[in-house]
Each structure stands twice: as structure tokens, then as C-alpha cells.
Amino acid sequence: MQREDAFRASATVIEAMPRGRFRVELANGHRLVARGARAAAQAGWMPGSQVVVRLSPSDLSRGRIETAAEEREL
């Protein structure tokens, strides 16, 4: 179930972290920790990869990687 108040933004993966988390940077320079899908290791997200991140307006320091930016445009 997708939340109605969440919004999406393009981001660049900066660092792969343990347990399926990634440090990403938005186009405006804001950095946050985003968790990947269960198959994050198979997705091939590495530093420099362009992704789409879903953010909650209540906590802009965390997000979820929805897909690679090449697969889906905003």
C-alpha cells in the first residue's frame, strides 16, 4: 500500500551501507539514508547509480528506493 502523502525525487547513490541501506543525494544536495528493495543486491545499485526515492513529508532524513531512474521517469 502506497502512502498518498509520500512524494518521489530523483537521487544519486553515494554509498552502499550494510543491511540493504544506501546513502543517496538528491538533486538539491540533500543527503539521506534510503532502504532498498529486498533484491537490492540484485538491482546493481552502486555509487553513482541514478534512482527514484520515495520520501515521507514527516521525516526527510529517510526514504525508500523505488526503482532505478532509467527504468522510470518522474
Do the domain assignments include residue 22? yes
Domain span including residue 41: 7-68
**Which letter, b or e, does each residue of 42-53 get, where b requires 16 or more Cβ atoms within 10 Å of its Cβ?**
ebebeeebebbb
Residue-wise pLDDT for 36-73, tens only, equals 866 655 567 889 989 999 998 888 899 999 887 665 45
pLDDT, residue 72, reads 47
Is 58 among the domain residues? Answer: yes
Inside any domain, residue 24:
yes
Give the chain's domain count: 1
- Indicate whether 74 belongs to any domain: no
Give the CA count within 13 Å in the CB-facing half-sphere of 13: 26
For residue 18, give the CATH number of its domain: 2.40.50.140
Stretch (H or E) spanning 52: strand 50-56
pTM of the predicted model as reported, rounded to 2 decimal places:
0.77
| 73 inside domain | no
Give the pLDDT score at 6. Answer: 81
On whether residue 36 sits in a domain, the answer given is yes
Write down the pLDDT at residue 40: 54
